[in-house]
Amino acid sequence: MSKQPSIREIENAFLPAKEITDASRFAGRKEYVESAFYALLTEGTNIAIIGNRGIGKSSLAMQLQEISGGKNDLLRKLKINDNENLDFLTFYYACGGSVTCHHELLEKLLTSKNCLLDWSYDIPKARNFIEKYTPKFSVGFASLGGEKSTKTTTQTSQPEHDIETVFTNVVSSICEEKLAQNGIMFIIDEFDQIKDKTGFASFLKALATNVPNVRFCIVGVAHDINELIADHASTDRLFAGGIINLPPMSNTELEEIIRDAEKSIGNFIKFDQNATNKVVNLSQGHPYIVHLLGKYSLRTIYKNSRKSICDIDIDNTLKSIANEKTDLVLEDRYKKAVGSSAQREIVLKSLAQTQTYNLEIHTKDAYKKAIDLGVDNPSQFVGSLVTEDFGAEIVKIRDRYYRFKDSLFVAYVNARPHLHELKG
Ligand SMILES: Nc1ncnc2c1ncn2[C@@H]1O[C@H](COP(=O)(O)OP(=O)(O)O)[C@@H](O)[C@H]1O
Ligand SMILES: [Mg+2]
């Protein structure tokens, strides 16, 4: 019999709050990893990873970072033919909510310690370009070097170049050093969070001409590349062959996440087939939900010294996730949409349950379900669910058709037990 895993191993068997960095824990996605690898091999192609929240974009991006640095573990695991190890100098930057425009992004890339700052410090030509730009950067250098730069006296002068030129010059001088054979790659995660993206596509175009060895991989929530870039400039050639539109994961891939997690604890605790199917079905293609349900089910079963997880355990986990607000953001959104109305909750759930494969909802189907459950006037509640007061989780796409804004929220609505008691 396998040895009892530690609490640490149990807690890390599933990772709802963390991207997958370890290739052995990265499930499925062969076709997308392969496309991304080919895009990396193609000179001049930038990459965009798009898809819904919680679908696995950042995890794929981090695997790409590994592959771009020549670590081919995932390619081998997926049996993707790899007759070369890439050699990029790759930087990963997540925008969060703090970047307002692409100029600010470039500034962050230049001044963040784990991006270009350290490299520019070591390469005099690059350092010089930055120091001429603005005093702000020199301060960064000074604190980095431990003593103040001797150039502080000239720091009040106007910047000699705009940020795009400085960035281009700096990456160009780093490229000249030939630190990495394939050039430099910037992975920009949460690109959708940048408020004003105007000018980024044109900048990329100019950069491609001036420093051909630089690539961007932009990652974010979007349906297509134009939505992500949100710029009128044409992106066709910039991202040719490099657009990875991540769909929901297949059931086989989602099941693989559970099997990998079991393996990581020596199969000491197992999900029986009913529990596995339940988790997979509830997640509706979102690996995040598998990790969330998996983690908290495993924790409880381990505490109770049991060895097998069944579907009733999953039901109990669902209840405790809701009660304990384990995912505070999703739970708050749920509560905001439902409010104090048992009827609105029924309508919300009816909408989520009648969403079709193309993510549309026909009101006829949703209303019927809600009426069967005792709601008198479902259209009134749909009317409120589109408003900001109730979180605007759904949008009207055309007459009698609605859509949820976020498919991860739909999975949560379907999985979460009722907040208000069902009457009748
Ligand atoms: N291929 C995968 N195999 C296993 N788990 C994955 C995979 N892709 C994503 N996950 C997990 O799913 C959750 C969401 O992934 P993440 O990459 O953060 O998605 P996104 O960036 O699209 O929101 C995380 O818990 C992550 O560990
Ligand atoms: Mg992400």
Query: Can you spell out the DSSP letters for 233-264?
Result: S--TTTTTT-EEEE-PPPHHHHHHHHHHHHHH
State which residues form the domain around 403.
328-415
CA distance 210 to 176: 12
Query: Which stretches within 50-117 are classed as H helix?
Result: 57-68, 73-77, 102-111
Tell me which of 323, 342, 360 is where a domain ends: 323
What average pLDDT does range 48-60 have in this prediction? 94
83 occurs within a structural domain: yes
Q: How much is the pTM?
A: 0.89
Tell me which of 323, 352, 383 is where a domain ends: 323
What average pLDDT does range 178-203 have in this prediction? 91
Whether pLDDT at 119 is above 90: no
CA of residue 182 to ligand 1 center, whole Å:
28
**CATH number, domain containing residue 312:** 1.10.8.60
The SS3 call for residue 268 is coil
CA of residue 248 to ligand 2 center, whole Å:
14
CA of residue 21 to ligand 2 center, whole Å:
12
CA of residue 191 to ligand 2 center, whole Å:
10
> Higher model confidence: residue 339 or residue 152?
339
Query: What integer pLDDT is reported at residue 120 of this predicted model?
Result: 77
Indicate if 104 and 187 belong to the same structural domain.
Answer: yes
CA of residue 291 to ligand 1 center, whole Å:
9
23 occurs within a structural domain: no
Atom of ligand 1 nearest to the CA of 292: 25
Q: Which of 266, 269, 263, 327 is nearest to 293 (CA)?
A: 327
Whether pLDDT at 146 is above 80: no
Contact assessment for residue 107 and residue 163, using Cβ atoms and an 8 Å cutoff: yes
Number of the ligand closest to the Cα of 74: 1
45 occurs within a structural domain: yes
Indicate if 318 and 361 belong to the same structural domain.
Answer: no
Number of the ligand closest to the Cα of 33: 1
Whether pLDDT at 11 is above 80: yes
Query: What integer pLDDT is reported at residue 423 of this predicted model?
Result: 67
CA distance 175 to 214: 8
Atom of ligand 1 nearest to the CA of 29: 1
Indicate if 100 and 179 belong to the same structural domain.
Answer: yes
Mutation probe of ligand 1 site: the residue of 279, 288, 289 with most atoms within 8 A of C-beta: 288
> Which of 182-196, 224-238, 349-363 has the least mean pLDDT?
224-238
143 falls in which pLDDT band (50, 70, 90)? very low
Cβ contacts of 407 within 8 Å, gap of 6 or more? 52, 53, 248, 284, 285, 286, 359
Render pLDDT for 379-402 as a digit per residue (tens, 0 to 9): 999 999 999 999 999 999 999 999
> Which of 136-145, 169-178, 234-243, 323-332 has the least mean pLDDT?
136-145
Atom of ligand 1 nearest to the CA of 291: 25
Domain count, the chain: 3
Atom of ligand 1 nearest to the CA of 16: 25
The CA-based angle 198-242-175, given to 5 degrees, is 75
Tell me which of 323, 345, 369 is where a domain ends: 323
Contact assessment for residue 407 and residue 359, using Cβ atoms and an 8 Å cutoff: yes
CA of residue 59 to ligand 2 center, whole Å:
7
> Higher model confidence: residue 295 or residue 108?
295
Indicate if 42 and 162 belong to the same structural domain.
Answer: yes
2 occurs within a structural domain: no
420 occurs within a structural domain: no
Number of the ligand closest to the Cα of 52: 1
Indicate if 351 and 379 belong to the same structural domain.
Answer: yes
Query: What integer pLDDT is reported at residue 406 of this predicted model?
Result: 93
**CATH number, domain containing residue 356:** 1.10.10
Whether pLDDT at 95 is above 50: yes
Indicate if 376 and 398 belong to the same structural domain.
Answer: yes
Q: Which residue CA neighbors atom 25 of ligand 1 most closely?
A: 16
> Higher model confidence: residue 390 or residue 111?
390
> Higher model confidence: residue 136 or residue 271?
271
Query: What integer pLDDT is reported at residue 137 of this predicted model?
Result: 55
358 falls in which pLDDT band (50, 70, 90)? confident
148 occurs within a structural domain: yes
Indicate if 281 and 410 belong to the same structural domain.
Answer: no
Render pLDDT for 56-73 as a digit per residue (tens, 0 to 9): 999 999 999 999 999 999
Indicate if 411 and 390 belong to the same structural domain.
Answer: yes
Ligand 1, pocket residues at CB < 6 Å? 15-16, 18-20, 26-29, 51, 53-59, 257, 287-288, 291
> Higher model confidence: residue 383 or residue 162?
383
Q: Which of 35, 45, 33, 43 is nearest to 71 (CA)?
A: 33
154 falls in which pLDDT band (50, 70, 90)? very low
132 falls in which pLDDT band (50, 70, 90)? confident
> Which of 38-52, 114-128, 334-348 has the least mean pLDDT?
114-128
Indicate if 272 and 365 belong to the same structural domain.
Answer: no
CA of residue 384 to ligand 2 center, whole Å:
30
